Structure 1
Amino acid sequence: MDTELLKTFLEVSKTRHFGRAAESLYLTQSAVSSRIRLLENQLGVNLFTRHRNNIRLTAAGEQLLPYAENLIITWQQARSSITKSNQKKNTLSIGALPLIWETGLTDWLESLYLVHKNLQFDARIAPRNLQVQQLHERQLDLLITTEPSKMDELVSKRITSIPLQLVMSERKSGDKKRAYISLDWGIDFSQQEKESFTQEISPVLTTSSALMAKQLLKNTAGCTFLPEFWQKQHPELKPVQPIQSINLPLYAIWLQNSEHHLLIHKLISNFHIPEDNE
């Protein structure tokens, strides 16, 4: 069955006029008439009664109408689903916290794009628990995070580590008492964060944005843990004495039976965070 015949039938049944149906379908009137005749020949019935200025559906036409509508809808849904499925094969969705993207993951993504021009990338920013759920639902292909997964159906591979250092802004270096800005690097970091201070601290701000924390250092007389290599990019950042450092691991997580399993292995095999670009 040619769906174009059904589309023509539906347009004529709606307009009750071969000429107006032809205009809507960008066809000649003779082409519309030819398609209707072909459909009638295939079904062995007349679908319209044709009188001057009075085109009506026959009983057979009325019976065909709901089937034709459903067939067209089903065909459109099938074509859309197949197209999306084919596009997904060339699309890799990567998720991470804002902190991870800001630390250098964006530069890594840019390097992937330059090498793999045939791939389309979908960068996601969301809380870790939501992104783990998206992995299970196959809405996300790869998660870059600071903690490994303990779920059997997920693969966790340590790909690098991020040296963090407690820093301050030199503009406020003369202040004795420092406010502390806590960055949400993950549960493991939180434990090491507590161990880094001799007394209990009360952060003036907790955030998941490293860029926000860096900006606020200028006016809060504060300190926070930022990637060590940021001090090369931002000369105003100075280590707090005595120097306090935390080495934060970074993991790639994906579904064991992911259709992108081999591709992900290839992409993370030489993973590194560029340290000479923001």
Structure 2
Amino acid sequence: MDIDLARTFLEIVSAGSFIKASERLHITQTAVTARVRSLEGELGCKLFVRNRAGARLTPEGENFLPHATEILNAWNHAKRSIALPDGHQSRLSLGSETSLWNPLLVNWITWIKDQLPEAAVDSQVSDPDRLTKALERGQLDAAIVHTPNYYAGINVELLLEEKLIRVQSPLTSEPNLFINWGSEFERQYMAVASSPSQSAFSFDLGPLALQVMLQTGGNGWFRTRVVEPYLSSGKLLRVADAPEFTYPVYLTYRSDSNKPLLQTALKGVKEIANLNVPWML
């Protein structure tokens, strides 16, 4: 399929009309219409319903939307991989979960920049499922995650052990702050603590919950490497006799990669994981 057809389809979805899409693409509306007809002919279905308000997707168009996105992403990744900047021999595509980019991904990229100057680097921060899919498609070489998905062709190695410990503010120990650290944490949490629905405040981002607790008080479970500086300074207190939960970090990477610099980069991130540096998130 012509990549311009997928690009035009996605531009119409984003702009909301054929006219606006033509303006963004710097082509005529007639050309946009012709591309859509060509794409619909290849797929054998109608993708848009046009009206005075613009254009909306048909059910078939809704089904095609994620595929068009994947096609364009794969094309862009291929272009970046093939075209290397001067002085670089290979391109490494690395990813991490949102909660792990600082400092792990930052320090990993910095290490590669210093130790492997011949390597260009693409980075991606996302959720574990998207990172795993990117690994499967060859859009990523390696990723750092808390919850790995085990698939053929993807190696999973324990990178470092981490725990979630319960801490509280010296201002006040209330309210309980529930942070959703993932399904494995929730399984462990439900075995020993009250249900998340009984917490007046819930979060899906640890740094947000931490800042709320530091400013207004409360208690919750947080990663040891993040709260250690606050415990040392007295800004937070550890809750005595509270259970601890395991929260390890894993390194996932493609087992069939033939990039010579990848193995060196993997050794580098293992060295970085053992460094005693404060975590900011």
Task: Identify whether the pair has TM-score above 0.5, normalized to the shorter chain.
Answer: yes
Change (3 A) 1:200 1:101: same
**2:119 paired with 1:136:** no
Distance in 2 (CA, whole Å) between partners of 1:83 and 1:109 is: 17
2:250 is equivalent to residue 251 of structure 1: yes
1:212 matches 2:208: yes
Corresponding residue number in structure 2 for 1:94: 94
Gap change, CA 1:104 and 1:150, over 3 Å in 2: closer
Q: What corresponds to 2:226 in structure 1?
A: 230
The question of 1:201 aligning with 2:179 is answered no
Contact 1:149 1:155 in 2 (8 A): no
Change (3 A) 1:118 1:168: farther
Q: What SS does structure 2 have at the residue aligned with 1:181?
A: strand
Matched residue, 1:155: 155
Task: Name the CA distance, whole Å, in 1 between partners of 2:203 and 2:80.
Answer: 43
What letter is aligned with 2:98?
A: P
Q: Indicate if the aligned counterparts of 1:233 and 1:276 stay in contact, CA closer than 8 A.
A: no
Equivalent residue runs for 1:182-197 within 5 Å: 182-184=179-181, 186-197=182-193
Give the deviation of 1:182 after TM superposition. 0.8
How far is 1:146 from its partner? 1.5
- For the pair shown, which has the larger CA radius of gyration, 1 or 2? 1
Total equivalences in the alignment: 192
Partner of 1:157: helix, strand, or coil? strand
Q: Residue 169 of structure 2 aligns with which residue?
A: 169
SS of aligned partner of 1:276? coil
1:205 partner SS = strand
Cα distance per residue 1:235-257 (max 9 Å; x no partner): 31221232332222211111221
TM-score, with normalisation over the residues of structure 1? 0.59
Paired with 1:92 and 1:125, the residues of 2 have a C-alpha distance of 14
Task: Structure 1 unaligned segments of length 5 or more: list them.
Answer: 1-80
1:171-194 residue CA offsets vs partner (Å, 9 max, x unmatched): 22xx4x43223133x322221222
CA contact (8 A) 1:96 1:145 kept: yes
Shift in alpha-carbon separation, 1:262–1:219, aligned structure 2, 3 A? closer
Are the counterparts in 1 of residues 112 and 265 from structure 2 also a CA contact under 8 Å?
no
Structure 1 residues 201 and 162, CA gap change in structure 2 (3 angstroms) = same
Gaps (5+ residues) in structure 2? 1-77
Are the counterparts in 2 of residues 178 and 223 from structure 1 also a CA contact under 8 Å? yes
Distance 2:208 2:275 in 1: 21
Deviations 1:32-77 (A, max 9, x none): xxxxxxxxxxxxxxxxxxxxxxxxxxxxxxxxxxxxxxxxxxxxxx
Amino acid at match of 1:85: I
In structure 2, relative to structure 1, the CA distance for the partners of 1:119 and 1:233 (3 Å cut) is farther
Determine the C-alpha separation between the residues in 1 that align with 2:223 and 2:144: 16
Q: Secondary structure at the match of 1:270?
A: helix
> Displacement, 1:273?
5.2
AA partner of residue 263 (structure 2): L
Measured after TM superposition, the shift of residue 86 of structure 1 is 5.0
Do the aligned partners of residues 82 and 99 (structure 1) sit closer, same or farther apart at CA in structure 2, a change above 3 Å counting? closer
Percent of pairs identical after alignment? 16
TM-score, normalization by structure 2? 0.59
CA-based RMSD of the aligned residues comes to 2.7
Aligned equivalent of 2:110: 110
Per the TM alignment, residue 151 of structure 1 is displaced from its structure 2 partner at its CA by 0.9
Runs of 4+ in 1 over 4 A off after TM superposition: 81-84
Aligned to 1:180: 177
Change in Cα spacing, 1:108 to 1:233, as seen in structure 2 (3 Å) is farther
Which residue of 78, 82, 86 maps to 1:85? Answer: 82
Cα distance in 1 for partners of 2:251, 2:224 equals 21
- Whole-angstrom distance in 1 between the partners of 2:239 and 2:103: 20
Q: Give 1:263's aligned residue.
A: 264
